[in-house]
Structure 1
Amino acid sequence: MSQQQIRILYIDDEVHNLNAFKASFRRLYAIQTAESAEEAYKLLEENDFHIIISDQRMPKMTGIEFFESILEKHAEPIRVLLTGYADINAVIDAINKGQVYKYFSKPWNEDELKHNIDKAYEVYALRKENRELTEKLLDVNEKLEFLLRQKLIS
Structure 2
Amino acid sequence: MSEKPAILYIDDEEANLLLFRVSFEGEREVLVANSPEEGLQKLEENKQRIRAVISDMHMPKMNGVQFIEKAKETVNDIPYFILSGYAFNDEIDDALKRNMIQKFFTKPFDKAEIERHLNGAA
Query: One fold, TM greater than 0.5?
Result: yes
SS in structure 1 opposite 2:68? helix
Q: Distance in 1 between matches of 2:20 and 2:61?
A: 22
Amino acid of the structure 2 residue aligned with 1:78: P
Kindly report structure 1 stretches of 4+ aligned residues shifted beyond 3 Å: none
> More strand by proportion, 1 or 2?
2
Matches within 5 A, 1:1-154: 5-48=4-47, 49-96=50-97, 99-121=100-122
Q: Distance in 1 between matches of 2:33 and 2:98?
A: 22
* C-alpha displacement of 1:64: 0.1
Amino acid of the structure 1 residue aligned with 2:82: L
Number of paired residues? 118
Gap change, CA 1:100 and 1:40, over 3 Å in 2: same
* Higher RCO by CA contacts (8 Å cutoff, separation 6 or greater): 2
Q: Distance in 1 between matches of 2:109 and 2:72?
A: 25
* C-alpha displacement of 1:77: 1.9
- 1:38-94 CA distances to partner (integer Å, 9 max, x unpaired)? 111111121021100000000100000001112222102210111111133132132
Q: What RMSD in Å do the two structures reach over aligned CA positions?
A: 1.5
Bigger radius of gyration, 1 or 2? 1
